[in-house]
Structure 1
Amino acid sequence: MENKSFGITVLATSLAFVLVQLDVSIVNVALATIGVRLRTGVAGLQWVVDGYAVAFAALLLSAGGLADRIGSRVMFMAGLGGFTAASVLCGLAPSAGGLIVARVLQGAAAAALVPSSLALLSQSCGDDAARRTWGVGMWTAAGSIGLAAGPVLGGAMVQLLGWRGIFLVNLPIGLAGLWLTWRFVAATPGAETRIVGTRTDWAGQVLAVLTLLVMTGSVIEAHRLGWASWPIAGGMLLAFLLLAAFVAAERRHAEPLLPLGCFAQRSFSGAIAVGFLLNMALYGSLFVLALYFQQTRHWSAWISGIAFLPLPVVLGLANLLGRRAASWLGTPMAMTAGLLLAACGMAALRGIGAATPYPANLPGLVLIGAGIGVSVPLMTAALLGSVPKPRAGVASGALNAVRQAGGAIGVALFGGLPTHDALLVGTALLVAASAAAAGLIRTAEPAQHPAGGKATAQPICR
C-alpha cells in the first residue's frame, strides 16, 4: 500500500509539473495567431509570454515557505486547481489584456505547484534516499519532456484546434491530477512541525517577490531597451539593493522565509549554483536554436519543433538514468560528468550555419539532452537531502526561483548574441556548473553537532 501511495504521488506531481513546463514553451508557436485573432502588437504578445514567467519566478520562494506552513498537499491542490482554472480563462480570453491577466494567474499558480510537488515527493519517500532520487528523476523527466515538447504539441494544437486549444488541453490533465491527489495522496504536516513556526516573515516575503520581480523584469526588457539604458541599469541596481535588504531581513527574523543557515550546507549551495548556471545555458541555447531553425533555416514552427525532438526524448530517458549513474560514480562525479557532456554537446553545435545538414546537429542535441538529463534529478535530490524535511518546500522554492531567474537572464543574454557566440557562452556556463558540482556537491552532508550534543541525522537549516 505504501509503494502504491508513493507511485501515485509521483504520478500526480509529475502530471502537474508537465502542465507547468508545457505552458512555459507551448505558447511561443501560437503567438502569431494570437496577435491576429486578438488584434495585439509585439508588446502585447511579449507580455503574454512574460506575464507567466515573471509571476512564476517572483512568487516561487514565498510559495515554498507557505507550503511548509500549511502543508504541501493543501498547497499542491490549491495550486493545481488554480492553474487549471487559469488555463480555462486563457482559452476563453476575449482580448489580449484578458489573456495577459490569465497568464499572470497561471504563473502564480505554477509557483504554488512546483515547490509543493517536490515537498510532497520528499515527504512521501521518508528517509529512503534511493527512492527520493528515483521519484525526483521521474518528476524531472516529466517536466523536461513537457518543456521541450511544447513547440511540437503547440504547433499541432494550433493547426488542429486553433490557439485556444493550447490552453484548454490543460483541463483534463489538471482534473486528473486533482482527483489522484484527493483520492490517494496522504496529507502532509504543516504549521505543527517543529522547525516551521507561526510567525510569518512578511518582510522577507515582500522583499523576495520585489527582488525577483524587478530583476526578472529588467532582464526581460534589457533586450529591447539595451543593457546600458538608464531604466535597465537603474532596475538592476534596485534589484541588488532589494536583495541586500532581503538578506538583512532574513538575518534578523527569528523564523526567516529562507534560512540563511541552509547555505552552510555545501550541497545546498552547490545545487543552487548549478541550477542557476545550467538554466542560463539551457534556456538561452533553446531560444537561440529556435531562432536558428526558424530565421536562419526558414523552417516553420511545426518543423522547428520536430527538429528539437531528439533533445527532449534523450533528456527524458537520461533523467531515469540519474539514479544508476549516481550508484556507479557517486552523485558529485555523475553530476560533473553529465554537465561536461552537455558542454561538449553545446560546443559541437557552434559550427552550425544556414547550409549545415540537419543530421550534423544531432550529436550536439543528443549530448546536451543526455548530460542535462542525468544532472538535473541528481542536483534536485542533493538539495532535498541537504535540508530537514520541514524545509523541503522552501528549499525547492529557492532552487526553482533561482533556476527561473537564470533562465530569464539566459534568454536575454543569448538573444543579443550571434548563434556562434551564444553557444560559446553556453559551453562556458556548463563548464562552470560542472566545477560547482565537483567542488560543492557531496554524496551525504556531514553530520551537524548541536552545542554539547551528538551528531544529528539531519542537517540543521535555520
Structure 2
Amino acid sequence: MADTARRRQPAGLGRVLAALALAQFICSFAGSNMNVMINDISRDLDTTVQGVQVAITVFLLVMAALMIPGGKLTDRWGRKRCFLAGLVVYAIGALLSAAAPGLGTLILGNSVLEGVGTALLIPPVYILTTLLYRDMTSRAHAFGVIMALGGIGAAAGPLIGGLITTAISWRAAFVFQALVIGLIILLGRRIDDPLPADPDRPFDTSGAVLSAVGLVLVVLGILAADNDVRLMAALLVLGALVLWWFLRSVRAKEAAGREPLLSLALFRDRTSNLGLVTQNIQWLLLMGSSFTVAAYLQVVRHYDAIRTGVVFTAATLGLLVASLSAERLAKRCSQRLLVMTGFVTCVAGVAVLIALVSAFTTAWAFVPGLLLIGLGLGVMLTPSVNVVQSSFPEEQQGEISGLSRSVSNLGSSFGTAIAGTILVSGLTTSAYAAAMITLAAIGLAGLAAAALLPRETGPAPACAAPTTPAPGPQQRAPTSPGRDIRSQRPGRQP
C-alpha cells in the first residue's frame, strides 16, 4: 500500500523530493563539515579553535534566529520563491567563504549569508512536503528521505569535508556547497507551489527583531561562559528579558486582533510541544557530539582532517541504515516508541564514547559509540518531525515549519555552544569527558520528554509484525494534511 499511496501523488514529485532532500542535506552538511577543518582554518586565517567554534555557532544561531521569520515569509512571498531566493543567498555566501582572507569575511559568508539563505529555504522544504504528500504513509516516506539526507549531511559532513580539505583545500568545501546549490536550483524549477502567495499578508517586523535578538543573546551568553561568568550571566538574563518582551508583544497583538510573528496557539498542542523539545535535543546531541569529538581528535590527538572524517563514518553509516528504515518503522511502530528508542540508543552511544576513549588511544575506540549515536538519531529524527508538522492544518504550516526548524537549529547552536565551551576551556581528556557527560544528561531529558508523548501517536502501538485489525469502527481520515496523525493505518488515503 505504500507504493499505491505514492502512485496517487502528483506526477513529478520524485524530482521535487530530490531537490528538497538535497537542500536539507547541504544545510546540515554546512553545520558540521567545518568541524574537521579547525586546524586548517585556524592556521590559514591566523585564528584560534575558539574563533572557528564561534563561526560554526553563529551560522547555526543565525539559522535559528531567522527560521521563524523565514517560515512566515513563505505565506507572503510563496514557498517556491522563498526556496529559490534562499538558495541564491546561500550560494553567494559559500563562494564568499571560499575566498575569505580572514575570519571576519568567513563569518560574513558562512555564518551570516549561508545562515540567512538557510532560514529562507528550509521552511519551504517542510511546508511543501506536508502539502504535497497528503497521506500519512507517503508523507512519512518523504520526511524519511529528507531527514535521512539531513542527518547524513550532518554526520557525513566531517568525512566529506575531510576528504575535500585533504585532497584540495578547506576552501574547496565551500565551492562544493555552491555546486550542489546549483544542482538544487535546476531541480527546484519544477516545484509547483500548492498554495498561492499572499503579498498582503502582514509581517511582524518588531517581533522578528525581538525574537532574533533574544535568541542571539542567549547563545552568546553560553559562548561567554569560559571567558567571564558575569558577562555570561548578564547576556543570559538580558536574552531572557528580550524573549519575555517578545512574548508579551505577541500576546498584545493577538488581543488587538493583529497577526503576530508567531501565534501562541502553536504552543497549545501538548503533543507538538513535546515533539519540539525532542527535536531540539536531537540536534543538540548530534552537533554537540560532532564538535566535541572532532575538536578532541584534532587538537588533543592531532588527527588531520581526513583521519577525523573517517572516524565519523561510523555515525554516518548508523544514521543512513536507520533513516532508510523510517518508512517501514513508521508502519510498525508508534512514533513515541521510535523517539524513546532513539534517545536510549544515543545516550548509550555517548556512554560508550566516554568509556572506550578513556581506556584506549586507538581511533577504533570512537567507532562503537558514534555508530550507536547515528542509529539512535536515524530512528527518531523523522517521527519527531512528523509529530509536529502533522499536528497542524494547512493554514498553519508556514508558522509551525518555521518554529520547528528554528527549534531544531537552536538545538544545534546549543549543542556546539555548550559542549564546545566546556571542551575549549580545557582541551583535555577530562574536558572531553565533561562535555560528553553533559550531552548524555541532556539526552536523558529528551528521553523523559519522549516518554510523555501520547501512546497513540503512530500507526501501531508497539514494534511488532502487522496483524489483521479486529472488526470495528474505522478511524476517520483527516480532511487536510496534519489534522490527525493518530491511529492512521499505513496506506489509507485521506
TM-score, normalising length: structure 2 = 0.83
Q: C-alpha deviations, 1:68-126, integer Å up to 9, x for none? A: 33221111111012111221222233444333221211111111121111111111112
Aligned pairs for 1:263-274 within 5 A:
263-274=267-278
Aligned pairs for 1:221-370 within 5 A:
221-223=224-226, 225-226=227-228, 228-229=229-230, 231-253=231-253, 254-351=258-355, 352-353=357-358, 355-370=360-375
Preserved contact between residue 215 and residue 239 of structure 2 (Cα < 8 Å): yes
Q: Which residue of 1 aligns with 2:213?
A: 210
Q: Structure 1 regions of 5+ residues with no counterpart? A: 446-454
Q: 1:187 aligns with which of 193, 215, 228?
A: 193
- Taking the aligned partners of 2:103 and 2:364, their CA distance within structure 1 comes to 40
Q: Which residue of 1 aligns with 2:97?
A: 90
Q: Which amino acid aligns with 2:305?
A: A
Q: Which amino acid aligns with 2:84?
A: M
Q: C-alpha deviations, 1:272-314, integer Å up to 9, x for none? A: 1112222333322222222333344332232121011111121
- Taking the aligned partners of 1:431 and 1:44, their CA distance within structure 2 comes to 30
Q: 1:298 to 1:102 in 2, by over 3 A?
A: closer
Q: C-alpha deviations, 1:408-456, integer Å up to 9, x for none? A: 22333323163333333322322221221221356459xxxxxxxxx98
- Taking the aligned partners of 2:40 and 2:296, their CA distance within structure 1 comes to 21
Q: 1:442 to 1:110 in 2, by over 3 A?
A: farther
Q: Which residue of 1 aligns with 2:88?
A: 81
Aligned pairs for 1:1-16 within 5 A:
2-16=9-23
Q: Give the superposition deviation at 1:383.
A: 0.7
Preserved contact between residue 296 and residue 354 of structure 1 (Cα < 8 Å): no
- Taking the aligned partners of 1:46 and 1:414, their CA distance within structure 2 comes to 11
Q: Which amino acid aligns with 1:20?
A: C
Q: C-alpha deviations, 1:56-78, integer Å up to 9, x for none? A: 22211111111133221111111
Q: 1:101 to 1:459 in 2, by over 3 A?
A: same
Q: Which residue of 1 aligns with 2:222?
A: 219
Q: Which amino acid aligns with 2:193?
A: A
Preserved contact between residue 72 and residue 203 of structure 2 (Cα < 8 Å): no
Q: 1:425 to 1:217 in 2, by over 3 A?
A: closer
Q: Give the superposition deviation at 1:242.
A: 1.0
Q: Which residue of 1 aligns with 2:388?
A: 383
Preserved contact between residue 283 and residue 408 of structure 2 (Cα < 8 Å): yes
Aligned pairs for 1:441-452 within 5 A:
441=454, 443=456
Q: 1:138 aligns with which of 138, 145, 154?
A: 145
- Taking the aligned partners of 1:283 and 1:181, their CA distance within structure 2 comes to 28
Q: Structure 2 regions of 5+ residues with no counterpart? A: 1-6, 424-430, 459-477, 485-494
Bigger mean CA offset, 289-298 vs 318-327:
289-298
- Number of residue-to-residue matches in the alignment: 443
Q: 2:446 aligns with which of 426, 429, 433?
A: 433
- Taking the aligned partners of 1:94 and 1:323, their CA distance within structure 2 comes to 45
Q: Determine whether 1:121 maps to 2:125.
A: no
Q: Which amino acid aligns with 1:285?
A: S
Q: C-alpha deviations, 1:135-175, integer Å up to 9, x for none? A: 11111111111112222222222222223211111222111
Q: Which amino acid aligns with 1:299?
A: Y
Aligned partner of residue 249 in structure 1, secondary structure: helix
Preserved contact between residue 68 and residue 392 of structure 1 (Cα < 8 Å): no
Preserved contact between residue 35 and residue 291 of structure 2 (Cα < 8 Å): no
Q: C-alpha deviations, 1:203-222, integer Å up to 9, x for none? A: 22111111112112222232
Q: Give the superposition deviation at 1:370.
A: 1.0
Q: Determine whether 1:177 maps to 2:180.
A: no
- Taking the aligned partners of 1:155 and 1:363, their CA distance within structure 2 comes to 20
Aligned partner of residue 214 in structure 1, secondary structure: helix
Bigger mean CA offset, 266-275 vs 322-331:
322-331
Aligned partner of residue 149 in structure 1, secondary structure: helix
Q: Give the superposition deviation at 1:373.
A: 0.5
Q: 1:424 to 1:36 in 2, by over 3 A?
A: closer
Q: Give the superposition deviation at 1:244.
A: 0.8
Q: Give the superposition deviation at 1:4.
A: 4.1
Aligned partner of residue 349 in structure 1, secondary structure: helix
Q: 1:30 to 1:347 in 2, by over 3 A?
A: closer
- Taking the aligned partners of 1:191 and 1:43, their CA distance within structure 2 comes to 43
Q: 1:274 to 1:87 in 2, by over 3 A?
A: same
Q: Which amino acid aligns with 2:316?
A: P
TM-score, normalising length: structure 1 = 0.88
Q: Give the superposition deviation at 1:186.
A: 0.5
- Taking the aligned partners of 2:365 and 2:102, their CA distance within structure 1 comes to 43
Q: Which residue of 2 aligns with 1:63?
A: 70
Q: 2:171 aligns with which of 152, 164, 169?
A: 164
Q: Give the superposition deviation at 1:190.
A: 4.3
Q: 1:367 to 1:37 in 2, by over 3 A?
A: closer
Q: 1:313 to 1:7 in 2, by over 3 A?
A: same
Q: Which amino acid aligns with 1:186?
A: D
Preserved contact between residue 349 and residue 364 of structure 1 (Cα < 8 Å): yes
Q: Which amino acid aligns with 1:121?
A: T
